[in-house]
Amino acid sequence: LMLTSVKVELSAQGSDAVLIVARCKLSGQTGVEMEALTAASVAALTIYDMCKAVDRGMSIESVRVLEKLGGKSGHFQADAS
């Protein structure tokens, strides 16, 4: 894949949660959903690893594609939830 950009953004959600958003861009015809999902998952696993001494009961939840533009399947936007 010819990735042109990968951005991972973290934002605190209260005192006990982190929202992770990964954005990937590429110059080409194929999608980059798997790359974005992998980036978000690795960020979540890294946070878990850094915080496990404080709380081993943490959970990683709701890893999903929120939006996809272009490609063969066109535009996809997940329902708000």
What is the four-CA torsion angle of 59, 8, 62, 79, rounded to 10 degrees? 160
Q: Which two tokens stand for residue 43?
A: 């960020």
Task: State phi, psi for 29 to the nearest 5 degrees.
Answer: -95, -20
Find the catalytic residue in 16, 49, 55, 79. 49
Is 16 assigned a catalytic role? no
Any idea which residues carry the catalytic annotation? 49
